[in-house]
Amino acid sequence: MIHRKLRMGMIGGGKDAFIGAVHRIAANIDGQIEFCCGALSADPEIARESGRILFLPENRIYTTYQELFEKESKLPETERIDFVTIVTPNFAHFEPAMMALDHGFNVVVEKPMTLSLEEAILLRDKVVSTGLTLCLTHTYSGYPMVKQARQMVKEGSLGAIRKVMVEYPQGWLSTLTEREGNAGAAWRTDPKKSGKSGCMGDIGTHAAQLAEYISGLKITRLCADLNIVVPGRGLDDDGNVLLKFDNGANGVLIASQIAAGEENALKIKVYGEKGGLEWHQMEPNTLILKWLDQPAQIYRAGQPYLSDVAKHNTRVPGGHPEGYLEAFANIYRNFAATLAAKLRGEQPNAFQLDFPNAEDGVRGMAFIENVVASGQSNQKWHEFKI
């Protein structure tokens, strides 16, 4: 029986790294996880300084991920980490994740899961063969009202799904900011560090995962138009994709990082035979329901009429806004609950297993590669291949 916090290590995410701090906050919110060690930067001095800033023990501040795994695996079971969180750029996901699994550690990793589809398949297969658990942080699936939307579709409230429309506009790459000292922009627009796609790999994958998560459908065909709008950029910064799903439904996915003035305006609409739903990431506690034969409804987070799964992923009463950090924390909490159940020799339940996994990572990489292939082809429809 496990009666303790789960122990977490981190690779990447040192001082001044946005997403590393977000992961640490999210992991800490529910009090189930303890941050114990890290290799927080590829630069040894920054790694040491970052570890000290975060009050890590000196002997558990590592300067490489190889050192982290070798030394942590030699610690007693009562001290070593249970899992590692990988928050490096895309090109540095695969090798640390594989090494973690080889040393018996579970993994949380930023999306996209790897640099290529081939790597994603190898990593997925390693997860299966080891019996360990991998969590992929597609944050937006953690929101309570996204859970509510998914449950309503699953229960057939909207009838058979006919159309999915998802868009993710940002404006932060409207200029060539990667050449002006913006480190986040620099690696995201570098094919060697980001992979085959820029915008579609960075935020298009979020949109695709959310479309499949809420609708319960799988993309089977697509027709993509990818664009490099800002002159001098090495990867796409804008794109539009027509979608076909496995039940015959159709869809549209738009992702852009040159939508000047936009912040993080992810939106999704799902339409069925009886009605539709609409959710906006920047107003996350509201779900709009539109019906064919009755007035529209507004569902709000924290209310007693919501589904059990939405309530499970809600922390505060209605009228107390929950947002990005809490959604991120839901991913961590469900992952942690799964690990704790497995450590107790129990089978995790559906609520505990409700987080993106290695299979979602494979589909995300397949989405990127199929979108790029379609964008380079003159053929209208491209089969979604894995």
Same domain flag for 71 and 194? no
Is 206 within the bounds of a domain?
yes
Same domain flag for 304 and 334? no
Give the Cα separation of 158 and 298 in Å (integer): 15
Same domain flag for 264 and 375? yes
pTM: 0.96
pLDDT at 371: 98
Phi, psi of 191 (to 5 degrees): -55, -30
Is 249 within the bounds of a domain?
yes
Same domain flag for 21 and 98? yes
pLDDT at 3: 82
Residues of the domain holding 340: 6-140+330-355
Same domain flag for 235 and 163? yes
Contacts of 386 (CB under 8 A, 6+ apart): 117, 121, 362, 363, 366
pLDDT at 382: 97
Decide: 370 and 222 in contact? Cβ < 8 Å.
yes
Same domain flag for 58 and 134? yes
Is 129 within the bounds of a domain?
yes
Q: Which contiguous run of DSSP H or E holds residue 161? A: strand 161-169
Give which of 84, 92, 94 is closest to 123, Cα–Cα.
94
> Mean pLDDT of residues grouped by 10 in the chain (386 residues)?
88 94 98 98 97 98 98 97 97 98 98 97 98 98 98 98 98 96 94 96 98 98 98 97 98 98 98 98 98 97 98 95 96 98 96 98 98 96 97
CATH of the domain at 131: 3.40.50.720
Decide: 339 and 1 in contact? Cβ < 8 Å.
no
Is 1 within the bounds of a domain?
no
